[in-house]
Amino acid sequence: MSFKKDFLWGSASAAYQIEGAYNEAGKGLSIWDLWAHIPGKTYEGTNGDIACNHYYRFKEDVALMKEMGLKTYRFSISWPRILPKGTGMINQEGIDFYSDLIDELIANDIVPMVTLYHWDLPQVLQDKYRGWESREVIEDFVNYSKVCFEHFSDRVKHWIVMNEPNIFTSLAYMLKVHPPGIQDEAIYLNAFHHTVLAHAYTVLAYKEAGYTGMIGSSIAYTPSYAATNQPEDLKAKEMFDATGSLWYLDSYYKGEYPKEAIAYYSKKGVMPEVSKMDLEVMKKAASLCDFIGINYYQTATVAGNPEDGVGFSGMNTTGKKGTQSESGVPGLYKQVRNNDLEYTDWDWAIDPAGLKYGLEILKERYDLPIIISENGLGAYDVVTPEGKIDDDYRIDFLRKHVLACEEAVANGVDLLAYCTWSFTDLLSWLNGFKKRYGFVHIDFESGNLSRTKKKSFQWYQKVIETNGKEV
């Protein structure tokens, strides 16, 4: 087997999805704290007010991580829990909570891996200057990051600046399903560019301060296939990549945007303003990143789409398999079903080979170490009358993806960590509490939030114990 002796077998979470205590202990409100209380904005009206109550039960959760043998735990820090007003006064209770969590992890031989931004922007900054739409957010974000570095970098050596900036900007500013719920391509592209700059200036601040850990960001990565070898499908794949994964990854890890996409967006009149100084900062930060973080769930199969073809048709948020229809950008591409693959109940393609394929593309294009910061299966889990959760389907999914990682490593990919999504069940942004990802079942239905180990818990425990030899 190919995994290094110090390979980080991990699992992950995000603050809003697990912590709860949304208006306690000095925390300010985030954009999600308000959005989730607007009728019709979330699935079945679910919100993160309590979530898994991890804020008060983190020691119980860490004890389960220790029992599993987890090598690393990736979690996010809530910006408004640290800086309730986004800037200025530091909330000591927030500092103490994350400091205690970090200490608890280290005491149990678990490496803390920290995400600085997992979508919970302070609401006060949204009100002040419309959040990610404004360049003002860049300086405020860097100052927040510096606070985290100053308080935690003595113990935290793995930093993920941004989590899926491509997802939160597109869902917020193109698809209207995340706050602030806008549909404007120019605003979306501008907001994404601001995440690039926030990431870049944060990387520079970290390096200039002389910290000794590793820093990068995590992109939601969807490798693609052309539906056929016909020219229109090959061109569709090229533009899907240029305006998708390469737009996101090149800007973060090459310090530039793909030329084909610049031409396309410029012709449409929506290309963001990218100054010479922007490019200099992006290039410098890209040269200093220590790893690429990716969240991998599925691949996309792409076909040509005429000017009068299909547009965005919505996402399957109900969990009714087969209800996702073709969706795309007229004149550019459309995503079609791949008959060679199985799909989840939410119509996500299950493609372990796509992970190997994607990892090898990343090695070839960027030649950086890679952290898989998320990979997992969202599914309906059934509790038996005996209180067991036999999630063999999750074991099968993860096993095949671990084997794909092994093959990629054997082919020269420098893989540092593999973090599943997620350790416990949690609140899904668009699917409430019914779509479960965890090794640990949370009893949301009764409200007591009791923790129960699933069958996959013991499976991953063995994988970690044998460093991937027994999957």
Catalytically annotated residues = 374
Task: Specify whether the CB–CB gap between 309 and 328 falls below 8 A.
Answer: yes
β-pair type (292-295, 214-220): parallel
70/62 Cα distance (integer angstroms) = 9
Residues 301 and 384: their CA atoms lie apart, in Å, by 37
Distance CA 421, CA 438 (A): 7
Residues making up the chain, counted from first to last? 471
Contacts of 466 (CB under 8 A, 6+ apart): none
DSSP string, 272-320: PP--HHHHHHHHHHHHH---EEEE----EEEE---TTS--------S--
Helices 185-208 & 276-288 angle (0-180, nearest 10): 50
Contacts of residue 302, Cβ cutoff 8 Å, sequence gap at least 6: 224, 225, 226, 227, 233, 236, 237, 240, 333, 334, 335, 336
How big is the chain by its Cα radius of gyration, in Å? 21
Helix (H, G, I), strand (E, B) or coil at 410: helix
Contact 365, 353 (CB under 8 A): no
Concatenated DSSP letters of 419-446: EEE-SB---BTTTBTTSB--SEEE-TTT
CB atoms near residue 239 (< 10 Å) = 20
What would the two tokens of residue 150 be?
Answer: 């100053």
The closest of 365, 368, 346, 348 to 357, measured between CA atoms, is 365
Q: Which residue has 């006064």 as its token pair?
A: 89
